[in-house]
Amino acid sequence: MKKRLVSLMIVFVLFMSVKLMAQTPEELFNGAFPKFGNEINCSDEKESLNTEEVTEFRNELKRLSEAEDDLIAFNAGALTEENFNVFTNKDLKKADTEKLLALITDKRGNIIAYMGTLTKYGADEMECKQSIALFNDAMKRKNYDDAYVNWNFLFHYYPMSTKSTYSKGSPLFNYKYNKAPKEEKSLWVDTLMMIYDQRIKYFGKDKKYPTGFILGRKGRDLLKYRKNNVEEAYGYLKESVKLQGVNSEDAVLLTYMQATEGMFVNEKVEADVVVDNYSQISDLLTKRLAALQKKTKIQKAIDGVDAIFANSDAATCTAIIGAYDKKYKASPDNVELMEKIAGILDDKDCTESQLYFDVIDKLNKINPSAFTSYGLANMSLKKEKYADARTYLKKAIELETSDSLKAKYYYKQALVANKLGQKQQARTYANKAISLRKDFGAPYLLIATLYASSGCKQMTKPEGELSRIAYWVAVDKLIQAKSVDPSITADANRLIGQYSKNYPNKEDAFFYGVTKGTTVTVGCWINERTKVRF
């Protein structure tokens, strides 16, 4: 009997010890918030929250806030049986309140962040809208430190609320990046990449600035801040251009060409990829140039892309022909491929290759056009069949609707006429080219060479014969050439240097009353006025 009583007392003591033992923070939390993990679940599989779920989450958030108040009151010695919300003094007396508070704060933050990913205004619409207003106001005042506080809150807890969190992030990022010490700058680039990723996640379907647009900005900035990440940036830019097409930003297209060249230099792509990308980028920029009113930025992008390709080791005729010859042989009836090949070979002046002739000849049989007629003219020129070349060029001019391309064909016609010794006819064609394209310097150069080689010594005003007077009008044309087309300045200056050494003799000119600065008219078939120079 006595032994049994002792046993019962031991059991009772053990029972009371367990009962009086303090609960762990996790046990206290789970007991106070039984809905978590059951009715309320932060599932990654959800794409949105319905009204009932939003209400449930907000109710629990309120209770979490009340639990925090209990802990604050307890630690201050102010928690009573009358003012507790979730936890009593008895609950907290032997608890690790610091760890419990951390659990509650962490859970509350997780729920707010979770709701922000599934609803526009997340856990607290009023708090969200207030943060947006404060952020926009601080950005307007360029108070970037204040702006960052609200931006950081919106980015983490209300990522779906407003596109301005991302669209206004660039000046904010620049401010923080430039202000950061050298060892922290890389972390800010990581942040910038994360901003782009999150923008795609929540605003990638935006009609005006969709995923393709965002990827272009991401690739451009990655290459800007991390020049060695060429391959990664190239991937973003390639996908961006694929998605955006003619709506790609000019700066993105230019950067895509830079990245392409970087990939080629690092032996990540072959020459044919460089040529393909250049062709694609040039085509898109040309279409943009034709469609938009403000052309300055587009033209700068075109010039930049052309310069990158022109200086690339992939831009030689040998590399281009080698790259495309394989493709053509693999798919000889692909019209789209043939048009691309003919276009790039013509653009890079690789028109004397057999590949060019084969493609042009086949395209002309399938679908005769101004372009194929021009190509056949080039074939004829190589074979020195000038009469045939003239016929094909005439056909090209008749079929062409673009003034710029017509100018190109007239200039080629001028070269043919010169080959045939028809200098006056050559000048007529060159002037026609100039009339169709005001910034075309090559025809002026041609006219200058026609004049310089004319041997004309006839003056009509004053009358007389004076050797080498054609060099005066030749130099006039060279000066005009570089004034309308800076790209040919070097060639023009070289010829000016040559021709100016051949001006007429001052003493011979004086015999006719011709002195420096006098206006004279050069006769023969030239018939142009010029000023006397020695």
Number of structural domains in the chain: 4
- Residue 264 host element (H or E): helix 250-265
The reply to whether 197 falls in a domain is no
468 and 435 within one domain = no
302 and 219 within one domain = yes
The reply to whether 297 falls in a domain is yes
Between CA 344 and CA 415 the distance in angstroms is 22
The reply to whether 241 falls in a domain is yes
394 and 306 within one domain = no
Among the candidates 81, 116, 151, a domain finishes at: 116
Among the candidates 299, 315, 331, a domain finishes at: 315
Name 160's Cβ contacts closer than 8 Å, sequence gap at least 6: 116, 117, 118, 119, 120, 122, 202
- Tokens for 150? 């609200």
403 and 505 within one domain = no
Between CA 425 and CA 340 the distance in angstroms is 33
110 and 210 within one domain = no
Per the confidence metrics, is the pTM higher than 0.85? no
The reply to whether 156 falls in a domain is no
- Name the burial class of residue 226, with classes exposed (0-12), middle (13-18) and buried (19+) by CB atoms within 10 angstroms of its CB: middle
12 and 111 within one domain = yes
DSSP class of residue 314 equals G
Give Cα separations from 512 to 85, 455, 508 (angstroms): 116, 19, 7
- Tokens for 420? 């045939």
91 and 22 within one domain = yes
First to last CA, the chain: 142
Each residue's pLDDT, cut to its tens digit, for the chain (534 residues) gives 455 544 544 444 444 444 445 689 999 998 889 888 665 777 777 888 888 888 888 988 999 999 999 999 999 999 998 899 999 998 898 889 999 999 999 998 888 889 998 999 989 899 999 999 999 999 999 999 999 999 999 999 999 999 999 998 888 888 999 999 999 999 999 999 999 999 999 999 999 999 999 999 999 999 999 999 999 999 999 999 999 999 999 999 999 999 999 999 999 999 889 988 988 998 899 888 887 776 678 888 988 998 898 789 888 888 888 878 888 898 899 998 899 889 888 888 888 889 999 999 999 999 999 999 999 999 899 889 999 999 999 999 999 999 999 999 999 999 999 999 999 999 999 999 999 999 999 999 999 999 999 999 999 989 889 999 999 999 999 999 999 999 999 999 999 999 999 999 888 888 888 889 999 999 999 999 999 998
The reply to whether 522 falls in a domain is yes
* CB count in 10 Å sphere of residue 334: 13
494 and 412 within one domain = no
Nearest to 260 by CA among 244, 243, 280, 246: 280
The reply to whether 334 falls in a domain is no
- Residue 425 host element (H or E): helix 423-436
56 and 15 within one domain = yes
Among the candidates 116, 134, 160, a domain finishes at: 116
∠203-216-119 over CA atoms, to 5°?
A: 10
The reply to whether 188 falls in a domain is no
The reply to whether 364 falls in a domain is no
Instruction: Provide the domain limits for residue 401.
Output: 388-439
